[in-house]
Chain A
Amino acid sequence: MLFNNSSFIVLEKQLDASALRQQVIANNIANANTPGFKKSEVSFNDQLRAALDTKRIHLQANSPRHITARHPLHNIAPLVKTTEDTIMTYGQNNVDTEQEMVNLAANTILYNAASRMLGGKFTTMGHIIRGGK
């Protein structure tokens, strides 16, 4: 229960998705001059929004003998998709370096924010365990 609440899971999944997105952006930048290369993007927000949708009913357990379903947040995973239908430069390449740089900066900030929030949660928990001392 201690580490199983939704904000821990969300932050952990966000860190995983941002690390994957960093990898995909690095790959796009490395191939910015490769003829015929098509860029990829990571989508995560839609899956997260769907999993956080409170209108859906989840199995709740208030006794250890109840059957529990895994938290729906455990099942979300970032999705990598390749954009095939655009052309940016000669040689059919569609990497827009400026856009990749902006995505890279945004992704780094997002990762830092998530890791700082996770760190803050652990610090708070440490305070609670020590009884506020």
Chain B
Amino acid sequence: MALFESFSISSSGMTANRLWLDTISNNIANMNSTGRPGDPAQQPYRRQTPVFSAAVQQYLLNKNPGRGGPKTAGVKVTGILHDGAPPQLVHDPSHPHADPETGYVAYPNINVLNEMVNMLTATRAYEANVTALNSAKEMALAALEIGR
């Protein structure tokens, strides 16, 4: 039944956006996870971003060949990228992570404003998926009423 496909598509969208929210929370929680500059064993936290891509469903391709049917069914997260931006150096010689020669501490390059905006985007996208799921549910219930 097509409506159950729709349920799983919406739930994939909800899962992906919740994962995005998780990485945003992780980025904000670790915005002060410092490291020692130039020491590969003590690197600061690096910002994480999930990579979304459209999930291809073979079944739909087979069902509608040449009709240009829905080639994708839902979204999937293909990986989590670590931001390669260089860390921010803060001069604080008394910090345990401070470089003994220069006195600099490496802070992760996380922009809280950026994270907040992404958080709004992820929340709204999640809500949009919930709305789509609710209307699919409403339609399935309406179909049950036929012939009552």
Contacts and interface: CB of A to CB of B under 8 A. Distances in A.
Interface of A: 15-16, 18-20, 22-27, 29-35, 37, 40, 79-82, 97, 100-101, 104-105, 107-108, 111-112, 115-116, 118-119, 122
Given A19-B1, A35-B52, A26 B64 contact: no
Which of B9, B16, B73, B125 counts the most A-chain CB atoms under 10 A from its CB?
B9
A55 B42 CA distance: 79
Contact of B10 (A24, A26, A116): A26
Interface residues of B, number: 44
B52 A22 contact: no
A24 B142 contact: no
Contact of A119 (B54, B75, B145): B145
Given A22-B139, A27-B72, A30-B12, A101 B128 contact: yes
Contact of B6 (A22, A34, A80, A122): A22
Tell me if A's interface is mostly helix, strand, loop or mixed.
helix
A80 B129 CA distance: 21
Contacts of B1: 19
Contacts of A32: 13, 125, 128
A107 B129 CA distance: 15
Given A101-B128, A104-B131, A80 B69 contact: yes
Contacts of A34: 52-54, 75
A116 B144 CA distance: 10
Contact of A29 (B70, B72, B128, B138): B128
